[in-house]
Structure 1
Amino acid sequence: TMVNKMLMGPIVVKLVQQEKLEGDFRFKHMQIRVNAEPAAFFRAGHVEHVRTDRRLQRLLRTQRELMSKELWLYIGVNTFDYLGSILSYVVIAIPIFSGVYGDLSPTELSTLVSKNAFVCMYLISCFTRLIDLSTPLSDVAGYTHRIGELRETLLDLALKSQEGEIQDESTWDLARAPGWPAVEPTGTAFLLEQVCISTPSSNKPLIKDLSLKICEGQSLLITGNTGTGKTSLLRILGGLWASPLGSVQMLTDFGPHGVLFLPQKPFFTDGTLREQVSPGLLCYAGSTDDERIMRFLELAGLSSLVARTEGLDQQVDWNWYDVLSPGEMQRLSFVRLFYLQPKYAGEVCPVRARVSQALRVYVKLPIFFFFFFGHAHSMWKFPAQGIEPTP
């Protein structure tokens, strides 16, 4: 028991850590696969690569440490496996060569050696089987510890659910800003000439011969039924798809002071609240920066989110898609717009989105926008140019 404990103790701790890190890496890989398009819209490939590689390096480092500790376990196991038969004869040879059994005949001495060899080998075999249990027991102990942590977490969640501690979506209390700013166009962001849009897997065109110019100071509303190509047009502008015909020119930069895309599914990475405000871009800690983020969170009705995360820079181990409601995810995307302050922003609003609330946020932004919405014909009352593609 003492030998098993000495061999297994360090391995169990490292095995638990290795299983946890492997789960984190698999989850991160799955998260990138599921959210590949939103990440591409935010040009977050490099940042996500760095974060994923960091998780992979931690996992590999832990696996190397685990293998180095398992080496001593396997050395001990195999030593007792193969040394048992040799040790039995070494033990009986000591009294024989020291003359203790010098009065015995060769036949009696052979019988004595056989009996003692059998007893020694039997005892060593039993001890070897106990040592051999160290390897599977260390694995079972590690898995049991992980399962125990999972059960404790699930029980804790069940208790919180019974106590009614799960927070509902907070109410939207933003007021509409007065008047849309009248700004004359001074530049061009996108220039489309005779563009034909179709999905990469189909030759059926969604939009034919589209010529469009998106300039500063102009808001553009694109409405239409499902399947008319609204999201496809956003993918063309974002560079995710290529147009088989026509010319698409992006005449501005991506990011702050340029263009920012908000896909239909919001993009959130793992990490702190500050990193959600600026995924894929640099976001520095500091009193001035903190004040800006806090002000924008309050403007979007998400001040309570800071308390839930215990600060802007507190690492959290949850999935943001699980803890935020659809409304909170939409508003956190607005906070991202407030913080980055691009000249242009393109978005596809899902059908379930509350358009009036979305517009109340948009009109507060001191920047120029072009919009992509779904079925919201009621938005024509807002100052904007509009087009409605038809299949």
Structure 2
Amino acid sequence: MDADMSQTFSFDVRFAKRFVHILAVMRNGRTLSVISYLLFVTVLYETAAYNIGMITGSYYKALGNKDSHEFWTQTIKAVVLIVIIAMLKSTKEYISSTVYIEWRRSLTARLLVHYFRDRRYYDLNVSSERRKDNLDQRLTQDVDLFCKQLSLIIADLIVWPFLIAFYTYKTWVVIGYIGPLGCLIFFLCSTAINKGLISLVLHFVYLQQRAEGDYRFQHTRVRNEAESIAIQRGAAFELHKTRHLFHRLLAIQERLILRELGLKSSVYMFDYLGSIVSFIILSVPVFGGKYDNLFAADLSQLISQSTFMIMYLINCFTRLIDTATTFTAVGGTTHRIGEALEWLNVGGGGDRTLKPADSDDDFRHSTQLSHVNILEDSGDHFRPLSRSSDSKMYCQFTNVTIKVPDSDRVLISRLSFSANSQTRLLIAGESGTAKTSILRVLRGVWRETSGSVERYVPFDEPKMVLFLSQKPLLTTGSLLEQISYPLIPRLNGRQLDDHQVEQIKHYIDLLDLNSLLDRVGHELTRPVDWNWSVCLSPGEQQRLCFVRLFYHRPVLAVLDESTSAVSLAMERRVYEELQKLDIAYVSCGHRQSLEEYHRQVLRVTESQNMLDAAVNEYTIDEIMR
């Protein structure tokens, strides 16, 4: 059992801190104004409910005195109040839903900005040291459940203390101290019992949500890897794995519902007890002779109104108890979202470090083609070259040692090379000889253990440096979005100019991808609902990524096995176009044919020096023509 599974989550100081932290993150001016309106409507609703509760006593008096005029007066009053309270209740639920949307928008916006900043999405999903479970569920399903459940009870939680004070005063005036005292004792007894039961349930709510995420992720994995599983006949293994996760989920759910049985039994018992406690409390002054001077009709009215006030006071207490079940869901998601906020280092309140493009407006508006404005601050800093700019140096490795993250295994040591405007460097070697690891350090995804990596151009700008990874990276959306990635095509109804369209179509034709234009009706911005990574072959995916590269036309291209799925003829066409566009490039691959298009080869081989701590060594040679 891992650390997260063995931890116990309950309503404690840690919960309170995380809950307050989430509220601080969700806070914004619009949400506060909507909540204020919600509180106002709730107060009106409770006022109408009080007046309706008093009408029953008036009915008893009118019927006891056989006063038809008073009876119909109260009937008209009741009908008007019922119409008003129905409108107020529906308005209250509508505003609660609005609060839910605003909270989810605000919390999700903050989480996503920090999730995609400083490459935390990589560290938390890939890095073995920082990898966390089910981040996708925490950012989606857990946020949705937390905001929805909290929006349903937030107004009542704020108003109930005032309602309790009001009905305590009314009960004291009519019955005496025995009224509020009896209600308080009833509440304290029920709260003491339910508090312990809630803590037993909360931990298993957390575990259930985690197990749900693991089970859902397995199905997502099967969907994404369906072809590979089918080719390798892995159905039996995947079935075994899926069943194991499902049975683990059911085991946790069985333990959860067993604990919920005790909690719900206690909640329902105190709900029903509340209906008779009011009469028990009222019996004290009635049997004590306090109301002996009243006529029967007046006593009926008093009993009706007094029992209503006592029952409503108890109801205020029991509604607090009833929220226990709802709050267990809030409590479980509070811990999970709170952990995510801690992992992402999200502070409370307004984030002064966010640029305008990071604001919530990015979730609603789009205007033109532009780069996503999130700084990936993880070693990708660049500084202007201190020497003459004529050299056009792009990056330089000096005595760099590379280790596997979270490991003492040295992949390569004392690596030195540079890339400039004339670079055509091939990194070659057998599989597993740290070729891709060199590119990871160049990109800044991995850190160099020692030595220095200098970058003289901004590596986060696709118009300056563009990486094509070993596995082609395609996104959802239109064909233009595949080509403009990672820039965001914010067209908002505006058309690409003719030069841009012709440029894109030229590269599509160059790489024999005209069939893609046919599929989208020659409309680059046409929305599509298919998965590009599934409907295109590996070769088509790699060629489409090169359309992206030629469209951006960076000064330096870094290619990791980027032509491994295309023909030799297409490979020649790609590299000839790179040279024609005067794009410097660093390639990583094992094809012998690649040497023809490069000037230097950095060859990585398994180290033969037993005294060297690194498992690989390298040489840099000029390629002779």
TM-score range, shorter chain: 0.5 to 0.7
2:576 to 357, 363, 379: 363
Q: Which residue of 1 aligns with 2:436?
A: 231
Aligned partner of 1:363: which letter? E
- Is 215-224 or 271-280 further displaced after alignment? 271-280
Report how far residue 8 of structure 1 moved: 1.5
Contact 2:426/2:589 (8 A) holds in 1:
no
Contact 1:223/1:387 (8 A) holds in 2:
yes
Asked whether 1:260 is paired with 2:452, we answer no
- Is 369-378 or 318-327 further displaced after alignment? 318-327
Q: For 1:194-250, what per-residue CA distance to the aligned partner results, in whole angstroms no more than 9, with x for missing partners? A: 544434544543234444354544532222223312122223333455545556554
Asked whether 1:116 is paired with 2:301, we answer yes
What CA distance in whole angstroms lies between the structure 2 residues aligned with 1:262 and 1:275?
A: 16
Q: Which residue of 1 aligns with 2:591?
A: 376
What CA distance in whole angstroms lies between the structure 2 residues aligned with 1:298 and 1:73?
A: 63
Higher relative contact order (CA 8 A, sep 6+): 1
Contact 2:553/2:583 (8 A) holds in 1:
no
| Unpaired stretches in structure 1, ≥5 consecutive residues | 39-54, 93-104, 144-185
What CA distance in whole angstroms lies between the structure 2 residues aligned with 1:306 and 1:191?
A: 43
C-alpha distance 210-122 of structure 1, shift in aligned 2 (>3 A): same
2:410 to 197, 205, 219: 205
What CA distance in whole angstroms lies between the structure 2 residues aligned with 1:127 and 1:329?
A: 66
C-alpha distance 83-322 of structure 1, shift in aligned 2 (>3 A): farther
Q: Which residue of 2 aligns with 1:157?
A: none
Question: What aligned pairs does 1:117-156 form with structure 2 within 5 A after superposition?
Answer: 117-123=302-308
What CA distance in whole angstroms lies between the structure 2 residues aligned with 1:322 and 1:90?
A: 73
What CA distance in whole angstroms lies between the structure 1 residues aligned with 2:412 and 2:487?
A: 33
C-alpha distance 321-383 of structure 1, shift in aligned 2 (>3 A): closer
1:341 to 553, 563, 576: 553
What CA distance in whole angstroms lies between the structure 2 residues aligned with 1:270 and 1:20?
A: 22
Q: Which residue of 1 aligns with 2:97?
A: 12
Question: What aligned pairs does 1:163-178 form with structure 2 within 5 A after superposition?
Answer: none
Q: Which residue of 2 aligns with 1:161?
A: none
Q: For 1:152-196, what per-residue CA distance to the aligned partner results, in whole angstroms no more than 9, with x for missing partners? A: xxxxxxxxxxxxxxxxxxxxxxxxxxxxxxxxxx86544545544
Q: Which residue of 2 aligns with 1:390?
A: 605
Aligned partner of 1:344: which letter? L
Aligned partner of 2:429: which letter? G
What CA distance in whole angstroms lies between the structure 1 residues aligned with 2:574 and 2:169?
A: 82
SS at match of 2:430: coil
SS at match of 1:11: helix
What CA distance in whole angstroms lies between the structure 2 residues aligned with 1:189 and 1:83?
A: 73
What CA distance in whole angstroms lies between the structure 2 residues aligned with 1:289 and 1:115?
A: 85
SS at match of 2:586: coil
SS at match of 1:15: helix
What CA distance in whole angstroms lies between the structure 1 residues aligned with 2:604 and 2:401?
A: 12
Contact 1:221/1:387 (8 A) holds in 2:
yes
1:292 to 498, 503, 511: 503
Q: Which residue of 2 aligns with 1:48?
A: none
Q: For 1:94-149, what per-residue CA distance to the aligned partner results, in whole angstroms no more than 9, with x for missing partners? A: xxxxxxxxxxx97231876654333224445677859969x97xx89xx9xxxxxx
Structure (1/2) with the larger helix percentage: 2
C-alpha distance 347-121 of structure 1, shift in aligned 2 (>3 A): farther
What CA distance in whole angstroms lies between the structure 2 residues aligned with 1:195 and 1:277?
A: 34
What CA distance in whole angstroms lies between the structure 2 residues aligned with 1:386 and 1:121?
A: 92
C-alpha distance 306-364 of structure 1, shift in aligned 2 (>3 A): farther
Q: For 1:303-357, what per-residue CA distance to the aligned partner results, in whole angstroms no more than 9, with x for missing partners? A: 449949976497x999987998766654443233112212321121279744645
Aligned partner of 1:371: which letter? V
Contact 1:84/1:124 (8 A) holds in 2:
yes
Aligned partner of 2:94: which letter? G
What CA distance in whole angstroms lies between the structure 1 residues aligned with 2:561 and 2:95?
A: 53
C-alpha distance 236-86 of structure 1, shift in aligned 2 (>3 A): closer
Aligned partner of 2:588: which letter? F
Aligned partner of 1:109: which letter? L
Contact 2:424/2:584 (8 A) holds in 1:
yes
What CA distance in whole angstroms lies between the structure 2 residues aligned with 1:258 and 1:212?
A: 19
Q: Percent identity?
A: 28
SS at match of 1:109: coil
| Unpaired stretches in structure 2, ≥5 consecutive residues | 1-84, 126-138, 176-289, 331-390, 607-625
What CA distance in whole angstroms lies between the structure 1 residues aligned with 2:488 and 2:104?
A: 31
C-alpha distance 106-323 of structure 1, shift in aligned 2 (>3 A): same
Question: What aligned pairs does 1:292-331 form with structure 2 within 5 A after superposition?
Answer: 292-297=503-508, 299=510, 301=513, 303-304=516-517, 307=520, 312=525, 330-331=542-543
What CA distance in whole angstroms lies between the structure 1 residues aligned with 2:530 and 2:122?
A: 16
What CA distance in whole angstroms lies between the structure 2 residues aligned with 1:327 and 1:353?
A: 5
Contact 1:187/1:216 (8 A) holds in 2:
yes
Aligned partner of 1:220: which letter? L
Report how far residue 280 of structure 1 moved: 6.1
Aligned partner of 1:261: which letter? F
CA RMSD, aligned part only? 5.5
SS at match of 1:372: strand
What CA distance in whole angstroms lies between the structure 2 residues aligned with 1:318 and 1:21?
A: 30
Aligned partner of 1:260: which letter? L
TM value normalised by structure 1: 0.54
TM value normalised by structure 2: 0.37
C-alpha distance 268-124 of structure 1, shift in aligned 2 (>3 A): farther
What CA distance in whole angstroms lies between the structure 2 residues aligned with 1:390 and 1:284?
A: 46
C-alpha distance 207-201 of structure 1, shift in aligned 2 (>3 A): same
Aligned partner of 2:95: which letter? P
What CA distance in whole angstroms lies between the structure 2 residues aligned with 1:318 and 1:29?
A: 29
Aligned partner of 1:6: which letter? T
SS at match of 1:335: helix
C-alpha distance 349-110 of structure 1, shift in aligned 2 (>3 A): farther
Aligned partner of 1:7: which letter? K
Q: For 1:53-101, what per-residue CA distance to the aligned partner results, in whole angstroms no more than 9, with x for missing partners? A: xx9xxx9xxx8xx97x977666776666554576689999xxxxxxxxx
What CA distance in whole angstroms lies between the structure 2 residues aligned with 1:292 and 1:373?
A: 27
